[in-house]
Amino acid sequence: MGFRATPAHQADHIMVAIVTVVIGLFSQSMTMFFFIGTGKELKDKSDQNTDVVQRTKVFKSKVFPAATYSMAAIMITFIMGGGVGSGKTPVWLHNALAAISLLLFARAYWVEIHAMQENASLMERYLKDE
């Protein structure tokens, strides 16, 4: 879509960018809230079990930086895209930032999926309906 962003297709590019940024920010922030919520619930249900508390901290220490960096990258890319539209930012910078955003999102999803799998095993153990 970005390479088709000629003046005739610029509006399409902007709309796709807005939707992509909103979905990207929403997905990462909801993932962070998921780990905050399940971490608190796991700590409470496990009676502050030291192993559980430590494992939830490990999840957060992996997920939160990855999610934050990917959100920052996509916001910077979007903002720089506005600079390209106004002629104040070079196209190559926006393209490089778009590639970096894709890589950071791919990394974030990889980290999050593995953390969710480990978190699910804790949830199965401590959050079963009684």
What pLDDT is recorded for position 103?
98
Q: Domain locations in the chain? A: 2-126
pLDDT tens for 41-71 read 998 888 888 998 999 999 999 999 999 999 9
Residue 20's alpha-carbon distances to 24, 38, 65, 112, in angstroms, are 6, 27, 20, 19
Predicted TM-score (pTM) of this structure: 0.87
- With 70 as the cut, is the pLDDT of residue 130 above it? no
Q: Of all residues in the chain, what percent carry a pLDDT higher than 90?
A: 72
pLDDT tens for 105-117 read 999 999 999 999 9
What angle do helix axes 10-45 and 91-126 make, rounded to 10 degrees?
Answer: 30
Between CA 87 and CA 26 the distance in angstroms is 29
- With 90 as the cut, is the pLDDT of residue 2 above it? no
Contact (CB, 8 A) for 87 and 41: no
pLDDT tens for 68-91 read 999 999 999 999 999 998 999 999
Q: Read off the pLDDT band of 11 (50, 70, 90).
A: confident
Instruction: State the average pLDDT for the chain.
Output: 91
- With 70 as the cut, is the pLDDT of residue 129 above it? no
